[in-house]
Amino acid sequence: MARTMLLPVLLSFLILPFSALALTQDFCVADLSCSDTPAGYPCKAAGSVSSGDFYYHGLAAAGNTTNLIKAAVTPAFVGQFPGVNGLGISGARLDIAVGGVVPLHTHPAASELLFVVEGTILAGFITSSSNTVYTKTLYKGDAMVFPQGLLHYQYNGGASTAVAFVAFSGPNPGLQITDYALFANNLPSAVVEKVTFLDDAQVKKLKAVLGGSG
C-alpha cells in the first residue's frame, strides 16, 4: 500500500519543477543567433525583447507558385517568427495554383490544421497502421486536421488559385516530401528501383526532374 501511494508523490515532485518554470516564465523569444536544439532555441535576453518579436507580416503576400508543383508555402516558423519559440505553435500560408499540388509529405514534429480562405483544395492523409486514406474536398471556410507524422497532401483541382492558412502544434514542424526524399538525392538508381518497384527508366526520369543523381 505504501509503495502504491509513493508513486504519485514521486511523480508530483518530478512534474513540479517544469510546472513552476511554465508559470514563472511568460515567454521565451528565440535567440536566433544561437543554434536550435531539440528543446528549441535559447531565450533572448529580456532586455532585448520587443513587440516586433511577437508580430509577423510575412503571411500577407501570396507565395510564388511558378515552380514544378505550382504551389508555395510561406512559413511562420520559429526561424521567421521568434516569438513562437517554446509556445508549441507556428503557422504558414499555402498558395496553390490551378492544377498545383503539395505532394505526399510529413511533418515529423507537429500536427497540422489547414483552413481554406480561397478556392478549392482536395486534401487527405494516410494512416501509418493500416494505410487507410482519409480524404475530403475543402471549400472556402472549411478546415481539416492532419495528425503529426502522417503522410498527407493537398491538390488544387478547382478553377482558381486556392489559398489556405495553416496552424502547427509546434514552433518548427519539420518537412519531408516523399518524392524529393526518393529522387532528389544521390541514392543509387538500382536501390531506388528496389524500394519503389519502379523500372530504371522511370527512376532516372524522376531523378532528372527533381535534381537527383546516381
Binding site residues for oxalate, as ranges? 107, 112
C-alpha 172/C-alpha 191 separation (Å) is 31
What are 42's three cell numbers? 535559447
C-alpha 192/C-alpha 44 separation (Å) is 44
Whether residue 151 contacts residue 110, with contact meaning beta carbons closer than 8 Å, is answered with no
Binding residues for Mn(2+): 105, 107, 112, 152
Rg of the chain in Å (alpha carbons): 21
C-alpha 169/C-alpha 50 separation (Å) is 24
Burial zone of 180 (CB within 10 Å; 0-12 exposed, 13-18 middle, 19+ buried): middle
What are 110's three cell numbers? 507537429
Helix residue spans in the chain (DSSP H) = 2-24, 178-183, 189-196, 200-210
Whether residue 95 contacts residue 154, with contact meaning beta carbons closer than 8 Å, is answered with no
Q: What's the one-letter identity of residue 33?
A: S
Binding residues: 105, 107, 112, 152
